[in-house]
Structure 1
Amino acid sequence: MTELNLLPLVGIVVVVAGFALRFNPLLVVVSAGIATGWAVQLDFLTLLETFGEKFLNARQLASLFLIIPIIALLERYGLQQRAQAWIASIKSATTARILMMYFLVREGSAALGLISLAGHAQTVRPLLAPMALGAAANLHGPLPKPIQDQIAAHAAACDNIAVFFGEDIFIAFGAVLLMNAFLQENGIMGIEPLHIGLWAIPTAIAALIVHCFRLARLEAQITQQLVAYLKSQPQEHDATKKSELENNTSEVLS
């Protein structure tokens, strides 16, 4: 009976111990790889070659993670504030119009296969949400926290829904190829990825129309919620501000 060699599992011990002691994650992972290579008796050059090969194979994933600290650095130096101030300077910009424009661009780019062109980390958080908040603040003034959260949630929903319905139009998308393979395995022949992509277009158009209608109603909802908020806290706001919001409500609803 062959004796079981548990020595190669030393890398797991290194990972658990490193994270438990709150060491640098990159240092922990590299140390675990070196420990595992030593356990299986790899020479140094072979181990270094393995590290390089795995890094090159996963370079797209690595570049994705590099975006996060770049965005964080831009936010640290006022990216959100600049985006919000720029939109506030455009008098015709509204929350609904900004989100509608983004939805259209995002769904169109996803239909072309450019799914990584935008996203929550690189677009919604640092740019889209501050721009939508800036437009709302330009129209209504300072916004309470619940309304700010609602606008940010709608900005995130725009990205999710646009990508979900737009990516099915791209015939090389994984889900489209999976549906095509499933149909062929079950004896349904004659359907190509191009057919699936074409039939996804009406669904994407319907999603665009429905979501734009929801965003158009968002403007009225924001104004109504602001009026209710001001009425619940009369000691913090004067009657002039309430009158302005009530006038905005009648204009939006009309």
Structure 2
Amino acid sequence: MEIIRLIGILIIVVGFIFKFDTIAVVLIAALVTALVSGISFFEFLSLMGEAFVSNRLVTLFLLTLPMIGIAERAGLRQQAVHILEKISGITAGRLFSIYMVFRELAGTFSIRMQGHTQFVRPLIEPMSQAAAKTKYGEISEKDSERIKARSAATENFGNFFAQNTFVAASGVLLITSTLESLGYAISPVDIVVATVPVALMALVIVIISNILFDRSMQRKYGQVNQDKKEGK
């Protein structure tokens, strides 16, 4: 009955279908899988503890949450929006392109940061909304959601495609060690050299996409604003 060890997958599927607490579902699935596989409860706790310690860097973003809360309470978002409103010619697309450049440079210099919690949610997203409203006035809820999505997507693109442009990045070292174990002689520099063109291509594609996004917003709201100015 080796198949019984797959019961954890069934628990996760059922838990997600009925929208139970995600963390609780995953922990229960892991515990049940361990028990049916012959692992005792205390051995399971030991494995969980070792896994948590080995991956403790993943939870470091929790340390930034109090700082972000204090900054927002002190008016960080409002000040960022206020400053952006004074900059003429800025659009949501141009702001995203600037952030994409910044995000890829951060990856190149191995500056690790939790982009969504530290930048996108408290700064980039409200600033992009302010840029759109400053240029076009009130925008539809659908376009507001599109801007939110682009804010998050820009962070994902910049992080994903540029994270291996630093020679000592964890991803580079992992790829190098994996290929070496398979018999391929390769150095971290080779991985970086192969990654840089991909990162540049991603940057160009994102910038072009942002230009097209600005043009679509201009076509949609530019004429409306012009009619308002002319009193139509």
- AA aligned to 1:82 is Q
Partner of 2:106: 109
Alignment of 1:2-151 (within 5 A): 64-116=61-113, 119-151=115-147
Q: Unaligned regions of 5+ residues in structure 2, if any?
A: 1-20, 22-41, 43-52
**Counterpart-to-counterpart distance in 1, 2:176 and 2:57:** 26
Partner of 2:190: 195
**Counterpart-to-counterpart distance in 2, 1:109 and 1:92:** 26
Give the greater-gyration-radius structure (CA): 1
Query: How much is the aligned-residue C-alpha RMSD, in angstroms?
Result: 2.9
Partner of 2:165: 169
SS in 2 for 1:169: coil
Partner of 2:199: 204
* C-alpha contact 1:95 1:132 (8 A) present in aligned 2: yes
Once the 2 structures are TM-superposed, how far is the Cα of residue 63 of structure 1 from its aligned partner? 5.0
Once the 2 structures are TM-superposed, how far is the Cα of residue 154 of structure 1 from its aligned partner? 0.7
- AA aligned to 1:153 is A
Partner of 1:223: 218
- AA aligned to 2:182 is N
- Higher relative contact order (Cα pairs below 8 Å, separated by 6+ residues): 2
**Counterpart-to-counterpart distance in 1, 2:206 and 2:104:** 12
* C-alpha contact 2:164 2:195 (8 A) present in aligned 1: yes
* C-alpha contact 2:136 2:222 (8 A) present in aligned 1: no
Once the 2 structures are TM-superposed, how far is the Cα of residue 59 of structure 1 from its aligned partner? 8.1
**Counterpart-to-counterpart distance in 2, 1:89 and 1:96:** 17
Deviations 1:10-36 (A, max 9, x none): xxxxxxxxxx9xxxxxxxxxxxxxxxx
Q: Unaligned regions of 5+ residues in structure 1, if any?
A: 1-19, 21-39, 41-55, 231-237, 245-254
- AA aligned to 1:241 is K
- AA aligned to 2:200 is I
